[in-house]
Amino acid sequence: MPDPEEALVERARQEPAAFGELYERYLERIYNYTYYRTGNRWDAEDLTAKVFFQALNHLPRYKNRGLPFGAWLFTIAHNLVANWHRDRSRRKSVTLDKALALQRDDPFAAVERSEDYVALRQAIATLTQERQHLIVLKFVEELPNAEIGRIMGRSEGAIKALLHRTLKALRHHLKARQNGHIS
Amino acid sequence: MGTSREDISPDGGDLELLERELRRAMPRQHPAANFRDSLRGHLAYAARRERPAVEIARPKAPYLRLWWGLAALSIATTTFLIRRTRTAGTKGEETLG
C-alpha cells in the first residue's frame, strides 16, 4: 500500500489543489526552520516562500529515493539559508543581537527574551552552518536522528556523534561567556 | 524560566539539561495569518499557470517523427526507381531505333 504522503505528492504533480495540502502540512515547519536559521521574521517569510516556489517548480523532477517529501523540503530550505548566509556575509548586515532586538514587535517573541535565552541563541549563532542546521532540526522540528541523517546525508550514528560534539561546544561557549572570556 | 544559566553550563554539566534549555529557548513560531494566506494564493496561481506550460512542453509521440521520416524516404525511393526505369526504357528504344 503506498504511503499516503507519497500518493499526495503524486497527485500534486497533476492537481494544484493537492500541492495546497502539502503546503498546509509543511508551512509551519519550514517557517520555524527558516525563522531560527535567520533570526528574524521577515527573512524567514521570504525564504519560506522561496522554498515552496522552488518545490512547486521542481515537483515534476522529485523522486522519492528514501528521502521523504518533508526531508526534501528541509534540504531545499537548508540550501537557501546557506545562500542567504553567504550573501549576507558579503554585505554589512544586522547581527543576531540586533535581529533579536528588532523582534520587539513580534508578540510571539515576548516569552523568549530572557537574558539566558538570548545568550543561548548567540551561542548557537557561533556554530557552523551544519551544526546550526542540526540544532534546528533536532530541537525545533524535533525530528528523530534517523530522519535528520537522511536530510543531512549521514548515518544515524554520525548524527548522534555530531549532536554530542555540538552540545559540548555550546556548553563550552556558555561557560566561557559566563566566566567573562566572551563579551 | 525554571533554569538559570548556571544550570546550563556547570563544570561537568548535564547535556540533557542543555537539551531542555534549547527546546525552551526555541519555541515553535507561527507564521502570520496574512503571510500564510498570501503565500497560499500566490502558490495556487503559480500552480495553475505552470501546468499548461508543462503539458505543452511534454514531447508528443516520440516515434511520430521517425514514421514521417520513413514515409518520406519510401516515397523518394519509389519516385527515383520509377524515373530510372522510365529513363532506361527510353534509352533502350533510342538505341534500338
CA end-to-end span of chain A, whole Å? 57
Contact B9 A175 (CB under 8 A): yes
**CA–CA separation, A25 vs A30, rounded Å?**
10
**Alpha-carbon gap: B40 to the closest alpha carbon of chain A (Å):** 7
Contact A81, A38 (CB under 8 A): yes
Query: Residues A63-80: pLDDT tens digits?
Result: 776 778 899 999 999 999
With contacts defined as CB-CB under 8 Å, which chain A residues touch B20?
A: none
Closest alpha carbon to A99 in A80, A81, A113: A113
| Single-letter amino acid, residue A149 | G
Query: Residues A135-160: pLDDT tens digits?
Result: 999 999 999 999 999 899 899 999 99
Is A28 within 8 Å of chain B by CB?
Answer: yes
Which cell is B74 given?
519510401
With contacts defined as CB-CB under 8 Å, which chain A residues touch B21?
A: 116, 120
With contacts defined as CB-CB under 8 Å, which chain B residues touch A119?
A: 5
**CA–CA separation, B8 vs A170, rounded Å?**
10
Closest alpha carbon to A32 in A113, A138, A123: A138
Residue segments in chain A with a per-residue pLDDT below the cut of 70: 1-3, 65, 91-114, 181-183
Contact A178 B25 (CB under 8 A): no
Query: Residues B34-62: pLDDT tens digits?
Result: 999 999 999 888 888 765 544 444 555 66
Look at A53-57, A88-92, B18-22, B71-75 and tell me which has the smallest mean pLDDT. Answer: A88-92
Contact A52 B39 (CB under 8 A): yes
User: H or E segment at A40?
Assistant: none
With contacts defined as CB-CB under 8 Å, which chain A residues touch B49?
A: none
- Mutation site for B-interface testing, chosen from A167, A173, A179 by largest number of B Cβ within 10 Å: A167
Contact A167 B30 (CB under 8 A): no
Q: Which DSSP symbol is given to A28?
A: H
